């Protein structure tokens, strides 16, 4: 990931039987198949994200990749590179919106695997029609750039129609100007599938209760005493 200059990136020391190894926080997340997009999307960000997706898909083509998005969007062309990589790889990509997911960030959010598109409760999701700045030059050049903008707009509409089930007419109307949704409205709109609820406090179990622990290398069932659970 690219990060603003002067931003201190935390490092994590992992201790194993082979000694200690230092990871920057983003590399440690990648180790757990988490890709984080937390900046505007440009060519450099897109190249890094695509490289991470390709690496993780090569490492395990069936295991889920988790993509967290807190981005105001950015270059449509750079974003399309990430979008196409998400569709190309066989590994399912789940997407998570936090903070503000805007513009092309929302395209990536809704491009996650169906049923695996999430938002945190206080996330804001934003859509609008594509913006291409710097249109200038002779009349023929302006026409060429206007046609390109129209092509991109049509392509984005196709993506949102497929992702949300909304009609082109509804989407075109809503995206004509800035369109903001909270996490719950984003579910209703079809941009995401679920809002992640805050973790619930653990409940005290009755005496002698048996708790099935998550399956791992060994399937374990533990008999817990209610007093021990209460102390934990």
pLDDT in tens, 96-111: 999 999 999 999 999 9
* pLDDT band (50, 70, 90) for residue 82: very high
Q: Which residue segments constitute the domains of the chain, with CATH numbers given?
A: 33-200 (3.90.226.10), 202-232 (no CATH)
Paired strand residues for 67:
35, 95
- For 129, the enclosing helix (H) or strand (E) is none
- For 218, the enclosing helix (H) or strand (E) is none
Q: Is there a catalytic annotation at residue 226?
A: no
Name every residue whose Cβ is closer than 8 Å to that of residue 89 and which is 6 or more positions away in sequence.
53, 54, 56, 57, 61, 65
Which position among 58, 71, 103, 126 bears the catalytic label? 103
Write out the two tokens for 16: 């194993």
Q: What is the pLDDT of residues 12-42, one digit of tens each?
A: 777 777 777 777 888 889 999 999 999 999 9
Q: Is there a catalytic annotation at residue 128?
A: yes
Paired strand residues for 100:
124
Are residues 43 and 75 in contact, defined by beta-carbon separation less than 8 angstroms? yes
Which position among 128, 136, 140, 150 bears the catalytic label? 128
């Amino acid at each position: 990931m690219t990060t603003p200059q002067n931003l201190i990136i935390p490092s994590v020391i992992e201790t194993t039987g082979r000694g200690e190894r230092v990871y920057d926080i983003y590399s440690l997340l990648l180790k757990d198949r988490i890709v984080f997009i937390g900046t505007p999307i440009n060519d450099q960000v897109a190249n890094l994200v695509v490289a991470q997706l390709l690496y993780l898909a090569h490492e395990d083509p069936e295991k889920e990749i988790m993509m967290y998005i807190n981005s105001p969007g950015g270059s449509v062309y750079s974003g399309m590179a990430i979008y196409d990589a998400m569709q190309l790889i066989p590994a399912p990509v789940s997407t998570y919106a936090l903070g503000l997911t805007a513009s092309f960030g929302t395209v990536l959010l809704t491009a996650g695997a169906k049923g695996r598109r999430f938002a945190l409760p206080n996330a804001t999701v934003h859509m609008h029609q594509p913006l291409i700045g710097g249109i200038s030059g002779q009349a023929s050049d302006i026409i060429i750039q206007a046609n390109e903008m129209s092509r991109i707009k049509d392509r984005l509409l196709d993506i949102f129609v497929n992702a949300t089930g909304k009609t082109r007419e509804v989407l075109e109307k809503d995206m004509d100007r800035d369109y903001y949704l909270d996490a719950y409205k984003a579910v209703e709109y079809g941009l995401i599938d679920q809002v992640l609820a805050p973790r619930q406090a653990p409940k005290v179990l009755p005496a002698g209760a048996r708790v099935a622990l998550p399956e791992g290398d060994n399937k374990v069932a533990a008999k817990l005493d209610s007093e021990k659970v209460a102390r934990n």
